[in-house]
């Protein structure tokens, strides 16, 4: 995308979480959610994602989110089922992309400023922050549930840049969704699409950043 390095130093690197540092939900986990909900296919997909934005923005508590999903599906979820759905849902988002995590850690070791900018509900945010030491080692973390805004809203990018302490022109933002990248570039960041490791590695050329590690058997 845009090319405008402004200094001789490597840019700060801002990472999306899901689809970049983690893999997308595996089919087996999604099927477990459908089975527990008692509804499969498009109906469950629409209900799950249809209420996700206010949940990710922290405007819906976990139980309220699942009750809205249940209401749309025409079923009822008790407290025990909601707890299990939340557990499975959280676990479905923590299958890590080992190559990207290793690269993030190499940036941190090299002194490059790093941040996470992610649309994420409070349950997943709590788990991610506690489970992965590299999250704490980031110079800043912006999660939508804490900010009350979600990508591609400008407010969430501004929050991340302020916390990281850099100008937009001195940072790159990595995401797997073009609309989020377009929004970041409108604010002056350099957006870099992540889809496959090999193509992504080629997009990093000329930025002065450490290369991606080669991990035998790594996913994506």
Q: What percent of the chain has pLDDT over 70?
A: 94
Mean pLDDT along residues 140-165: 97
pLDDT at 216 over 50: no
- Mean pLDDT, to the nearest integer, of 110-120? 97
pLDDT of residue 220: 52
Asked whether residue 217 carries a pLDDT value surpassing 70, the answer given is no
DSSP states along 84-135? HHHHHHHHHT--B-HHHHHHHHHHHHTT--EEEEE---HHHHHHHHHH-HHH
- Give the separation between CA 26 and CA 101, rounded to whole angstroms: 18
Question: Residue 190: its pLDDT value, please?
Answer: 96
Mean pLDDT value across the chain = 93
**Strand residue runs (E) in the chain:** 12-15, 114-118, 140-143, 171-175, 190-193
Residue 4 burial by CB count (10 A; 0-12/13-18/19+): exposed, middle or buried?
A: exposed
Strands (E) located in 8-150: 12-15, 114-118, 140-143
Q: Is it the case that residue 186 has pLDDT exceeding 80? A: yes
Residue 18 contacts residue 121 (beta carbons within 8 Å): no
CB 150 within 8 A of CB 156: yes
Of the pLDDT bands very low, low, confident and very high (cuts 50, 70, 90), residue 152 is very high
- Residues 207 and 192 sit within 8 Å (Cβ to Cβ): no
Q: What DSSP character marks residue 170?
A: G
């Amino acid at each position: 995308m845009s090319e405008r390095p402004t200094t001789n130093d490597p840019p700060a690197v801002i990472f999306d979480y899901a689809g970049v540092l983690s893999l997308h939900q595996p089919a087996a986990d999604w099927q477990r959610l459908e089975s527990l909900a008692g509804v499969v296919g498009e109906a469950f997909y629409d209900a799950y994602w249809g209420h996700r934005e206010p949940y990710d923005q922290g405007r819906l508590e976990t139980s309220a989110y699942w009750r809205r999903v249940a209401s749309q599906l025409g079923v009822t979820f008790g407290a025990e089922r909601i707890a299990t759905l939340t557990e499975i849902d959280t676990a479905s988002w923590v299958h890590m992309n080992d190559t990207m995590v290793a690269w993030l850690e190499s940036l941190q070791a090299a002194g490059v400023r790093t941040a996470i900018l992610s649309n994420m509900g409070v349950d997943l945010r709590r788990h991610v922050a506690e489970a992965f030491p590299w999250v704490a080692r980031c110079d800043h973390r912006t999660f939508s549930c804490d900010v009350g805004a979600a990508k591609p809203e400008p407010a969430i990018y501004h929050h991340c840049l302020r916390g990281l302490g850099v100008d937009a022109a001195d940072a790159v933002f990595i995401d797997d969704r073009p609309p989020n990248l377009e929004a970041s570039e409108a604010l002056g960041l350099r957006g870099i699409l992540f889809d496959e490791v090999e193509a992504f590695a080629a997009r990093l050329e000329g930025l002065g950043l450490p290369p991606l590690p080669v991990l035998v058997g790594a996913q994506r």
